[in-house]
């Protein structure tokens, strides 16, 4: 069993304006990272710049929550594209299971569920650096016929300066998430 425990950032000023999560008055810088997208291209922190990014962690062997989150975020992206047409928004799915989630697997998986999303994989140590930085916890649960993960499933919103601006609960409804994400983007522009 793999335990990955991180210590979250302290003394963060939060804007208490959201139903589904929290926004940071002072956006947080994140570490540099280098992973591969589903087309096998290098993807780094620099690729977060000049656009808004919704980012979440998961794994393709997850039958329920990850496809549900992909569905929700796909709907939200459509609504934001319609309501805020000048905003460039991308969605990133970063695997916690690079052992099984190769670039080919991510390509097949996202090609099926939502081809507009970007899937990232890479060396587990690089992924752990990023999860640690974002205070994402994950735990491998071994079973007789494979393994699953318990994991922090927060949805993160990165601003066009590649900084963490807000995080949201994935259990929230599409409409509530949509409203809150739009609120954060509009207040920041």
Partner 1 sequence: MKKSLVMLCLLLLMSDRALGNIIIENSWVRAAPPKTKVMAAYMTIENHSLKAIEMDIKNVISKGFTKTELHKSSHNGMMTMEKIETIIIKPNESLILEPGGLHFMLINPETVPQKNTAVEMLIFFKNENETEVIRIEAEVRSQKS
- Any idea which residue has 């699953």 for tokens? 148
* Residue 72 beta carbon to partner 1: minimum distance, rounded to whole angstroms: 9
Q: Please, what is the minimum distance in Å from the beta carbon of residue 187 to partner 1? A: 26
What's the CA gap between 103 and 143, in Å, rounded? 25
* Shortest Cβ 46–partner 1 spacing (Å): 29
CB nearer partner 1, residue 124 or residue 174 = 174
Pick between residue 8 and residue 189 the one whose CB is nearest to partner 1: 8
**Least spacing, CB of residue 146 vs partner 1, in Å:** 7
Residue placing its CB nearer to partner 1 in the complex, 108 or 129: 108
The CA radius of gyration of the chain, in Å to the nearest whole number, is 16
- Separation of alpha carbons 155 and 139, rounded Å: 18
Name the nearest CA neighbour of 53 among 83, 95, 90, 78. Answer: 90
- Residues found near partner 1 in the complex (CB under 8 A): 60-65, 67-68, 71, 75, 105, 108-109, 111-113, 137, 145-146, 148, 150-153, 169-171, 174
Identify which of residues 48 and 55 has a Cβ nearer to partner 1 in the complex.
55
- Close Cβ partners of 165 (under 8 Å, ≥ 6 residues apart): 23, 24, 27, 157, 158, 159, 184, 188
Distance CA 98, CA 59 (A): 8
**Smallest gap, in angstroms, from Cβ of residue 148 to partner 1?**
6
Spatial separation of the C-alpha atoms in residues 118 and 59, rounded to whole Å: 13
């Amino acid at each position: 069993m793999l335990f990955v425990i991180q210590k979250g950032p302290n003394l963060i000023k939060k804007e208490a304006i959201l139903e589904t999560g929290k926004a940071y008055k002072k956006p947080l810088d994140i570490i540099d990272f280098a992973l591969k997208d589903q087309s096998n291209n290098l993807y780094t922190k620099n690729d977060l710049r000049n656009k808004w990014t919704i980012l979440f962690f998961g794994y393709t062997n997850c039958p329920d929550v990850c496809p549900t989150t992909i569905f929700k975020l796909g709907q939200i992206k459509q609504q934001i594209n319609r309501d805020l047409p000048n905003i460039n928004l991308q969605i990133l799915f970063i695997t916690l299971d690079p052992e099984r989630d190769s670039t080919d697997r991510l390509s097949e998986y996202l090609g099926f569920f939502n081809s507009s999303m970007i899937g990232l994989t890479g060396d587990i140590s690089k992924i752990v650096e990023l999860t640690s930085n974002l205070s994402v916890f994950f735990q491998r649960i071994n079973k007789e016929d494979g393994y699953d993960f318990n994991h922090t499933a927060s949805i993160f919103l990165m601003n066009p300066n590649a900084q963490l601006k807000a995080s949201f609960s994935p259990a929230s409804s599409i409409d509530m998430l949509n409203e809150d994400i739009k609120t954060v983007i509009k207040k920041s522009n």
